[in-house]
Amino acid sequence: MARRQGKCPDAVGERAVRLVFEQRDVYESEWAAIRSVAEKSGMSPVTLRLWVRQAERDAGVRGGLTTEERQRLRRLERENKELRRANEILKAAAAFFGAELDRRQKR
């Protein structure tokens, strides 16, 4: 099986997932269909299986986070991390300036 370097174009991945859905009944198992389509498309069967599972979640056939929900979660986690960092900076600044004010009052 030929392995590709880098990321597979979106159109190729979408086409491969669609082929798996169309050819599930032709093969003895879904994994056999995935392996066949992956080999023909020049990608890893494991990667294609993950894409098929994600497409099933997006369609509501399988439980779990959809692609949109996953993207939203990543965005919120990144925003949360930035806000925590900003909070720590503000706490440190408040402590620094609070200590500075205490020193000035004692003089």
How far apart are alpha carbons 24 and 27 in whole angstroms?
Answer: 6
- Buried/exposed 36-71: b ≥16 CB within 10 Å, e otherwise: bbbeebebebebbbebbebbebbeeeeeeeeeeeee
- pTM equals 0.68
Per-residue pLDDT in tens (0 to 9) along the chain, 107 residues: 344 455 677 888 899 999 999 999 999 999 999 999 999 999 999 999 999 999 999 999 999 999 999 999 999 999 999 999 999 999 999 999 887 777 766 65
Residues in the chain, total: 107
